[in-house]
């Protein structure tokens, strides 16, 4: 099989690609991969092998329909990870989120139709459902996204479904809870807090820390995506939950313990605008229909993740400080 993986240089996409190339998914030992990635601040070529006989890398924007039409022919399926993915950044400015997440998804699907690449897995998030105080969401619950990020992802889900319903494209949609694991950009809460603590710096906890998130190891998410790729039905949506609910305060306490720090390292900051209180997925469908079950226990996965950041400052230090450096250069540039 030949796969095109958009956003394959980001956190989750690169985990999927590295695992395929290592032969980690039964039935995909011979699968070849083309990564199609714009390498925004979130994408990192170093997340992938520098060279591999089954890997091709194309630097490109999913909004560039012409380039997609050149690259897509010969592929059997697309995994669509590419997106602007950080909620806080979408609160600051939503433009890129709408452009990439909505416009880019539409361009990609149109290019798939034009080139006869029929199978697409569109990777989305539990945040499209909004916030829930009790119980959990099944796949048919209404979309009530609250952040511009979540709204752009919800819009892309609807576009993806429409290309199935209108054009018969073989599209499946996945909605996953919060992921964690190695190679996640240090703007996201677990790597941000971990790297701050490893550097002896305080961590900023939003509001009263009561917000609840469900955590899933990136490896479990990617195994679920492989099941959906291989066996998921057209036009169907699959929730992928972790089943592991944590308040942000509890998560912070665990990270303090794992990094050998105490509560004086927590700085409470004003809450995020429109901060969703709780997300929770009902994932019976993917378990019963595709035989999915998460494997990585949260405590073990979290300890291993912290250990990975401790052992790999050479990966995260340049990633964490690149934006500051770029901003500084920009500021200097604007005064000259
Ligand atoms: P990420 O920000 O780490 O990576 C995104 C990748 O997309 C980067 O490599 C970036 O360079 C690339 N990209 C961005 N804009 C692009 C464009 N216009 N054209 C081509 N490439 C572009 O994100 P992630 O955490 O790996 O998330 C991947 C997908 O999974 C996203 O669609 C996200 O919405 C979804 N998701 C993420 C989580 C999570 O907890 N991280 C949970 C559920 C769903």
Ligand 1 center to residue 37 CA distance, Å?
10
pLDDT value of position 301: 98
Pocket test for ligand 1, best of 6, 9, 42, 152 (most atoms within 8 A of CB): 42
pLDDT digits (tens, 9 = 90+) for 273-310: 888 899 999 999 999 999 999 999 999 999 999 999 99
- Taking the CA of residue 149 as reference, the ligand 1 atom at the shortest distance is 34
pLDDT digits (tens, 9 = 90+) for 144-202: 999 999 999 999 999 999 999 999 999 999 999 999 999 999 999 999 999 999 999 99
Please give the Cα distance from 324 to 226 (Å, whole number).
Answer: 36
242 lines ligand 1 (CB under 6 A): no
Burial of 247 (0-12, 13-18, 19+ CB in 10 A): middle
Check whether 331 has a pLDDT greater than 50: no
87 lines ligand 1 (CB under 6 A): no
pLDDT digits (tens, 9 = 90+) for 87-137: 999 999 999 999 999 999 999 999 999 999 999 999 999 999 999 999 999
Q: Which two tokens stand for residue 284?
A: 């019976």
125 lines ligand 1 (CB under 6 A): yes
Domain-wise residue ranges, the chain: 2-181+216-243+277-296
Give the 3-state DSSP-derived string for 262-304, with helices as H, strands as E and coil as C: CHHHEEEECCCCCCCCECCECCHHHHHHHCCCCCCCHHHHHHH
- Taking the CA of residue 61 as reference, the ligand 1 atom at the shortest distance is 19
Check whether 317 has a pLDDT greater than 80: yes
Ligand 1 center to residue 45 CA distance, Å?
14
| Cα–Cα distance list, 228 to 19, 123, 221, 235 (Å) | 16, 10, 11, 12
List 126, 157, 276, 283, catalytic entry: 126
State the average pLDDT over residues 191-218: 95
Check whether 324 has a pLDDT greater than 80: no
| Cα–Cα distance list, 56 to 37, 71, 315 (Å) | 11, 11, 22
Pocket test for ligand 1, best of 6, 8, 12, 147 (most atoms within 8 A of CB): 12
- Taking the CA of residue 14 as reference, the ligand 1 atom at the shortest distance is 26
pLDDT value of position 260: 97
| Among 63, 223, 21, 164, residue whose Cα is nearest residue 36 | 63
State the average pLDDT over residues 61-68: 98
126 is catalytic: yes
Q: What percent of the chain has pLDDT over 90?
A: 92
Confidence of residue 319 (pLDDT cuts 50, 70, 90): very high
State the average pLDDT over residues 311-329: 78
List 61, 84, 127, 214, catalytic entry: 127
Confidence of residue 271 (pLDDT cuts 50, 70, 90): confident
Confidence of residue 334 (pLDDT cuts 50, 70, 90): very low
Query: From the DSSP assignment, how many helices (H) and strands (E) are in the chain?
Result: 12, 12
Pocket test for ligand 1, best of 5, 10, 122 (most atoms within 8 A of CB): 10
Confidence of residue 263 (pLDDT cuts 50, 70, 90): very high
Check whether 258 has a pLDDT greater than 50: yes
CATH topology of domain 2-181+216-243+277-296: Rossmann fold (3.40.50)
Check whether 325 has a pLDDT greater than 80: no
């Amino acid at each position: 099989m030949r796969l095109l993986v958009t956003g394959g240089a980001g956190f989750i996409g690169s985990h999927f690609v590295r695992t395929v190339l290592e032969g980690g998914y039964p039935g995909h030992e011979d699968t070849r991969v083309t990564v199609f990635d714009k390498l925004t601040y979130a994408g990192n070529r170093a997340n992938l092998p520098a060279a591999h006989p089954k890997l091709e890398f194309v630097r490109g924007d999913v909004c560039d329909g012409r380039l997609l039409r050149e690259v897509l022919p010969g592929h059997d399926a697309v995994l669509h990870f590419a997106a602007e993915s950080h909620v806080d950044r979408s609160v600051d400015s939503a433009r890129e989120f709408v452009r990439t997440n909505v416009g880019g998804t539409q361009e990609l699907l149109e290019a798939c139709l034009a080139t006869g690449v029929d199978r697409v897995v569109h990777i989305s998030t539990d945040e499209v459902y909004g916030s829930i105080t009790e119980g959990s969401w099944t796949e048919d619950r209404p979309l009530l996204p609250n952040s511009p990020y979540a709204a752009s992802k919800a819009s892309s889900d609807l576009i993806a479904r429409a290309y199935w319903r209108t054009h018969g494209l073989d599209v499946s949609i996945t909605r996953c809870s919060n992921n964690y694991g190695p190679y996640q950009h240090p703007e996201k809460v677990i790597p941000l807090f971990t790297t701050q603590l490893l550097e002896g710096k305080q961590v900023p906890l939003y509001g009263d820390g009561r917000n609840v998130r469900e955590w899933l190891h990136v490896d479990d998410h990617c195994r679920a995506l492989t099941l959906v790729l291989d066996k998921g039905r057209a036009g169907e949506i699959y929730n992928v939950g972790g089943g592991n609910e944590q308040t942000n305060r509890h998560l912070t306490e665990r990270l303090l313990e794992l990094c050998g720090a105490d509560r004086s390292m927590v700085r409470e900051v004003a809450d995020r605008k429109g901060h969703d209180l709780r997300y929770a997925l009902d994932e019976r469908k993917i378990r019963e229909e595709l035989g999915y079950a998460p494997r990585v226990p949260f405590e073990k996965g979290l300890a291993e993740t912290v250990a990975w950041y401790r052992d790999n400052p050479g990966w995260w230090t340049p990633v964490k400080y690149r934006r500051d450096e770029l901003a500084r250069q920009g500021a200097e540039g604007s005064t000259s």
